Chain A
Amino acid sequence: MKPGTTSSACIALLRRDLLLVWRRRGDALNPLLFAIIVVALFPLALGPETTVLARIAAGTIFVAVLLAMLLSLDALFRSDLEDGSLEQLVVSPHPLALLIGCKIFIHWLTTALPLIVIAPLLAQLLQLPSQVLPVLMIALALATPLLSLIGAVCVALTVGMRRSGMLLTLLVLPLIVPALIFGAGACNAAQDGFAYSAPLLWLAAWLVLSIIIAPLAAAAALKISLS
């Protein structure tokens, strides 16, 4: 008998989830469109004054990106629970936290990465000063995985319930507000010519902690949701 190794299991899971996102690519584009629409509406509502738009640009992009990611969060484990794939993952001989970590990574890769890629375009729409753009990109790169990780724990807790969307939003929002404050705060500091490394380092520290703890917590929560 040739038992599967844990690394081959992770590769199989990553490949399957990527393939699934590709097959449902219409749904996968939703968050991207949402973020673009929200950001595009601001200049229409506030008028095209560069100073006003530049002042709110970083915060608006941050809020739009985080809300767009919330849209896709509910689906993270839902289909796996409904078709029994989750049971198979739990019964499999591999560490559940690692498999969940792979699923969270795919969520970040397919939801947050496209948002980060179009962030320069959104920044242009809102006349963000060009020297702030690198800070915005770094802040987004640190804050979006945080949302995927923290969100996964909350989704794992609520996935067993019917119509958990509202509860999920209420659970996730307070937990990601610090990420928003530090991320947008770094951008605002950069815009005003102040030092911006401290909030970014805080985000990075929090991200490292979440990478270690969140998959374990999500795995434990999923086992509770299944029982």
Chain B
Amino acid sequence: MHESADEPRALLQAQSLCFARNDEVIFGPLDFSLHAGETVLIEGDNGSGKTTLLKVLSGLLDPTSGDVLLHGAPLTLAKLSHQVALLGHLPGLKLELSALENLRFATGMGGIRPGITPHLALASVGLEGYEDAPLRTLSAGQRKRVALARLLLVPAALWLLDEPYANLDRSGIDLVNRLLDHHARRGGAALITSHGAYAFTSGTPRRIALKASA
């Protein structure tokens, strides 16, 4: 889209990125870049700043120092171009509403990819027949699947997924891997946090290790 012909720009680039809360360094300085078609796993123990890193990359928190560039442009500007989808610890879904109503809200907020509907997205995460059930009546794993369906619908090139495997059964883990694979082949990129090792379908992903600061 924006990249120059000879040297494709990294989708996401972190330059000596550092975040500190009350003078206590949470992570960094970090340097890495993420290109289209890549899936990168952020590894680290509890408290090593994985979630904080995703929050900084999505623009929820401002980094203490360093820069985040999306397609070579600073994050605040690039945010306007609908690039980032965040799946946090909290799914951001309303329990009073049905799966379909939640997804319709998400597409109203973030737009919709061509060739997919909320119905299709729910079917592809294995929730056919649950379209109109209030989310309150669904299990934690099923709610996670609704959040995954949102990723399918909303056109964002960069996925930031915080513990996408949590609460999911074996077929759910396979589903996440399939979605990531599909996303990478479509030219998207994903950054995933996890403190466990998971089997990726397409080989081992690149890893970024975070250490808990002493």
Residues of A within 8 A of B (CB): 1-5, 8-9, 11-13, 15-16, 19-20, 23-24, 79, 82-85, 87-94, 226-227
Contacts and interface: CB of A to CB of B under 8 A. Distances in A.
Contacts of A90: 59-60
B82 A3 contact: yes
Nearest to A8: B108
B140 interface: no
A15 B108 CA distance: 10
Interface in B83-117: 84-86, 88-97, 101, 104-114
Contacts of A13: 105, 108-109
26 contacts: A2-B112, A2-B155, A4-B108, A8-B108, A8-B111, A9-B109, A9-B110, A13-B109, A16-B94, A16-B97, A16-B101, A16-B105, A82-B90, A83-B90, A84-B88, A84-B89, A84-B92, A85-B93, A88-B106, A90-B59, A90-B60, A91-B58, A91-B86, A93-B110, A226-B60, A226-B61
A9 B104 CA distance: 11
B185 interface: no
B81 interface: yes
Given A9-B109, A12-B109, A93-B81, A3 B92 contact: no
Contacts of A88: 86, 92, 106, 109
A83 B59 CA distance: 19
A82 B64 CA distance: 26
Contacts of B85: 91
A5 B106 CA distance: 12
B94 A83 contact: yes
Nearest to B59: A91
A77 to B, nearest CB: 13
Nearest to B1: A1
Contacts of B106: 88
Interface of B: 58-62, 79-82, 84-86, 88-97, 101, 104-114, 155
A82 B101 CA distance: 19
Nearest to A22: B96
Given A2-B111, A9-B109, A87 B82 contact: no
Contacts of B84: 91
A84 B91 contact: yes
Contacts of B82: 1, 3-4, 93
Nearest to B110: A4
A36 B182 CA distance: 57
B182 to A, nearest CB: 15
Contacts of B110: 3-4, 9, 92-93
